[in-house]
Amino acid sequence: MRIRPTLNWEPSDDLPAATNDPTAVAEAVRAGGVVVLSGAGLSTESGIPDYRGEHGSLRRHTPMTFQEFVGSEAARRRYWARSQLGWRAMTRAQPNAGHRAVTALSRAGLVTGVITQNVDGLQQAAGAHDVIELHGSLGRVVCLDCGHEDSRAALDRRLRAANPEFERVAEQHRAARVNPDGDVELPQAAVREFRLVPCAVCGTGVLKPDVVFFGENVPPGRVARCRDLVDTADTLLVLGSSLTVMSGLRFVRRAADAGTPVLIVNQGPTRGDRWATARIELPLGETLSWVVRQVTRP
């Protein structure tokens, strides 16, 4: 039986009101020492939907859980068939103005660290370095048996060779909407004949995208790196995350408990609003570009 993970959070009536004035963000960034925590909302302007926004993928799509993936070969076949098409769409996505603004602020020394919940690699593609990928990356694949890591591009070549007829399926569904976790909806008939490939090193291992699935824990070492980064921040700036899942919310709570200001720029309320100094409800690309101009002009 497929169990739907806990994905949604319902805001209460006592949350503080949002503002549409980004001045507080500019002032915090100008002072420096800002650590960014970004979510799916930062990538929506690149054509990748978020999970929970007005047009979020959860309205039509239930992400696969870790337990489902490891427990069923049929589930893995469904995931990799859908991902084989979704991966191609993800590789066509380009960084947007929000990604470029975060990179500009990092290069100016005002943003001292970036933690991203996104698995699309767009922040790095925009030129940012030392980004902590809290939930991993779709660009990597790991063998669950021997631990070997490989690139998603290498797996793409192997899956193409194993499924030559899938190119016809891909052509028929190339306009399908990609989900934040890198797959698309495909009819069962298109999935049924898809052939999986084993690990290229051990020859038998189960391959998994190097991302944290729902129901899976973030590696403790990665959590510790994020915690250390948050502890050094003068301000924690949350960009485009509803903070529904604890993996990101815990850093907001940690910062607030330490007396570190928390600023949230997001379209819609978040689970972290009660710990925030302010929430600004504005489009990210436009807002962050404005912040860059404010803090870097002579």
Binding site members for NAD(+): 39-59, 117-120, 240-242, 266-268, 284
**What residues form the annotated binding site?**
39-59, 117-120, 143, 146, 199, 202, 240-242, 266-268, 284
CA end-to-end distance (rounded Å), the chain? 61
Element (H, E) at 71: helix 66-71
DSSP state of 193: T
Contact by Cβ (8 Å): 57, 242: no
- Which structure tokens are listed for 296? 């870097």
Put the strands of the sheet holding 136-143 in their side by side order: 149-151, 136-143, 207-211
Cα angle: 157, vertex 161, 163; to 5 degrees: 115
Q: 80 φ, ψ to 5°?
A: -70, -35
Distance, CA of 282 to CA of 20 (rounded, Å): 6
Spatial contact of 21 and 280, defined as CB atoms under 8 Å apart: yes
Catalytic entry in 61, 99, 129, 135: 135
Q: Is the Cβ–Cβ distance between 137 and 125 less than 8 Å?
A: no
Catalytic-residue membership of 173: no
Binding-site residues for Zn(2+), please? Answer: 143, 146, 199, 202
For residue 182, how far is the Cα from the chain centroid?
A: 10
Residue 165 carries which DSSP code?
T
How far does Cα 220 stand from its chain's mean position?
A: 18
Q: What does DSSP assign to residue 214?
A: B
Catalytic residue list: 135
